[in-house]
Every structure is written in structure tokens, then in C-alpha cells.
């Protein structure tokens, strides 16, 4: 039976302490880059595999962050994930990704998995219908949460998002500046903070210009290509057609 390789084996071979070996294998910045590379190269050469799970039990840190969004195929989230990865790389951490497709149970299953793995935190764009209790449960069980793009009313956690009302207000004002007075709003749903806020930005701009806001000119729906196709059909089928639309 092959003898188990210990940290002390690597330390003795390279003339360093076992603490230095442990830090190097965890990619700690406390170890000089050249020394860290030499230790990792020797570990690979002799077949040593770093046990992240065992290390997490000792340090109470897994080095893993969960990220859950609607759909990675959305370019908006692809760009955000690139930034998340870049920041985590700086601290020698990694992330696990999940798409919830606005399915609450899928999101809950992912959160449960992160709790089982002892993840250090979760960055999430919450699924439609996410109750604040879900986020509170994660926090109380040692999984800090940060929300992006959407908010959850009643969840007292950090949130990073754009000014949705201001953005659609700008878009609507642009259409008004072109001379349009009959403007529709296409996209979004009141089930999400983004949908509510973007619609409010459109309403604010229309009312500020003294223009009529008609409920029939709001065509709500999910942010998918199919929903966009269907919304276009509804828009064209309107008897009293608008001359322009603010879409997202």
C-alpha cells in the first residue's frame, strides 16, 4: 500500500516549514511567488493532492463563493461574472455558478448545496418570488448574501444594482425629444424590482411631459427572445397604436 504523502514530506525535500507548504498550497499571498510555485510544482511531481475540504475544516473558510443568476446566456450577467471571477482570483478564491431561470426551487436547491459545502458566501440575482426568509435563512446559517440587479423587500443585505427608473426615464425622454407622444412600454413584470422600477421611470417621464399613460400600452413579460417576439405581435395588434416604444 502506497504511503500517504504528508506536508512534512514536501517541507523536508525543499527545506521549508510545513506551515509554508500549507500556505503555498492554499495560494496564500504570505508566501513569495517563486517559493509558492516551487512548492506546488514539487507537490504535483510527487503526486500530492491538496485536500481543500480538510483545509476548510481547519480554517473555517472554503475559498468558494456561490453565484446564482437568471441565465448566463444574458450578456449582462456574462459581463458581471467576468468581473466577479477577476476579483475572486485576486484573493485566490473560486466560484460555483448556477442558473435559476426564475425557478425558486432551483435557487433554493443551490443555496442548500452551498450550505452543505460550507461556501464563504453567495452573490445572487434573486429569482422571481424570492421571500426575504430564504435570504435570512442563508445568513443565519453562515452564508452571507449579496444581491445584484434585483432587490428583495425585507432582506437587509448589500445590494448592487443600476438606477432602473432613471434609465428608462432617459430612454422615454429621448423618444419624447424626437416628437413622440404616444409611447408604449414593452418588457418587465411587477413581480421584480427591476420591472417595477423601470416601469415607474417610464411613467414619471410621460407624466412630466404631460403625456397620457395607457395601461393597454404596457406589454409586460419575461426577458426572453420568445417573450420579445410575442410582445412585438401584441404591439402590432393594438388598434390604437403608439408611435414608439421603450423596450427592455
Task: Quickly count: other Cβ atoms within 10 Å of residue 20's Cβ.
Answer: 21
Do 36 and 116 reside in the same domain of the chain?
Answer: no
Instruction: Pick the most confident of 17-21, 70-74, 128-132.
Output: 128-132
Rg (CA), the chain: 25
Phi and psi at residue 205, to the nearest 5°: -65, -40
Q: Which of 160, 183, 217 is the last residue of a domain?
A: 160
- Predicted local distance difference test score (pLDDT) of residue 53: 56
Do 40 and 73 reside in the same domain of the chain?
Answer: no
Where in the sequence is the domain holding 33, given as residue range(s)? 7-50
Do 29 and 75 reside in the same domain of the chain?
Answer: no
- What Cα–Cα distance (Å) separates residue 245 from each residue in 16, 175, 197, 241? 67, 8, 17, 10
Do 243 and 189 reside in the same domain of the chain?
Answer: yes
Do 77 and 99 reside in the same domain of the chain?
Answer: yes
Q: For residues 37 and 82, give the distance between their C-alpha atoms in angstroms, rounded to a whole number.
A: 25
CATH of the domain at 136: 3.40.50.2300
CATH of the domain at 45: 1.10.260
Q: Is the pLDDT of residue 17 over 60?
A: yes
Condensed to tens digits (0 to 9), the pLDDT of residues 88-146 reads: 988 878 899 999 999 999 999 999 999 888 889 999 999 999 999 999 989 988 899 99
Do 99 and 192 reside in the same domain of the chain?
Answer: no
Percentage of residues in the chain having pLDDT higher than 90: 47
**Nine-digit cell string for 219:** 406589454
What average pLDDT does range 13-35 have in this prediction?
A: 83
* 2 occurs within a structural domain: no
Q: For residues 49 and 103, give the distance between their C-alpha atoms in angstroms, rounded to a whole number.
A: 37
What average pLDDT does range 191-219 have in this prediction?
A: 92
Higher-confidence position of 62 and 153: 153
Do 76 and 134 reside in the same domain of the chain?
Answer: yes
Do 144 and 71 reside in the same domain of the chain?
Answer: yes
Residues with Cβ within 8 Å of residue 109, at least 6 apart in sequence:
none
* 152 occurs within a structural domain: yes
Residues with Cβ within 8 Å of residue 57, at least 6 apart in sequence:
none
Higher-confidence position of 19 and 157: 157
* 1 occurs within a structural domain: no
Q: Is the pLDDT of residue 29 over 80?
A: no
Amino acid at each position: 500500500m502506497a504511503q500517504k504523502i504528508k506536508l512534512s514530506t514536501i517541507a523536508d525535500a525543499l527545506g521549508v516549514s510545513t506551515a509554508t507548504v500549507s500556505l503555498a498550497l492554499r495560494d496564500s499571498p504570505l508566501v513569495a511567488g517563486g517559493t509558492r510555485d516551487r512548492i506546488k510544482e514539487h507537490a504535483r511531481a510527487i503526486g500530492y493532492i491538496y485536500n481543500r475540504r480538510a483545509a476548510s475544516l481547519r480554517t473555517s473558510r472554503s475559498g468558494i463563493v456561490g453565484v446564482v443568476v437568471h441565465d448566463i446566456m444574458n450578456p449582462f450577467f456574462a459581463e458581471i461574472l467576468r468581473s466577479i471571477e477577476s476579483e475572486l482570483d485576486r484573493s485566490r478564491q473560486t466560484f460555483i455558478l448556477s442558473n435559476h431561470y426564475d425557478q425558486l426551487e432551483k435557487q433554493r436547491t443551490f443555496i442548500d448545496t452551498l450550505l452543505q459545502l460550507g461556501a464563504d458566501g453567495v452573490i445572487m440575482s434573486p429569482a422571481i418570488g424570492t421571500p426575504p426568509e430564504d435570504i435570512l435563512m442563508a445568513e443565519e446559517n453562515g452564508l452571507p448574501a449579496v444581491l445584484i440587479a434585483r432587490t428583495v423587500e425585507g432582506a437587509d443585505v448589500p445590494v448592487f444594482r443600476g438606477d432602473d427608473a432613471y434609465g428608462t426615464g432617459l430612454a422615454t425622454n429621448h423618444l419624447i425629444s424626437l416628437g413622440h407622444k404616444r409611447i408604449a412600454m414593452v418588457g418587465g413584470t411587477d413581480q421584480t424590482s427591476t420591472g417595477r422600477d423601470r416601469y415607474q421611470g417610464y411613467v414619471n417621464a410621460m407624466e412630466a411631459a404631460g403625456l397620457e399613460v395607457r395601461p393597454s400600452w404596457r406589454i409586460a413579460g419575461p426577458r426572453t427572445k420568445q417573450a420579445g417576439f410575442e410582445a412585438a405581435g401584441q404591439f402590432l395588434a393594438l388598434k390604437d397604436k403608439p408611435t414608439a416604444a421603450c423596450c427592455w
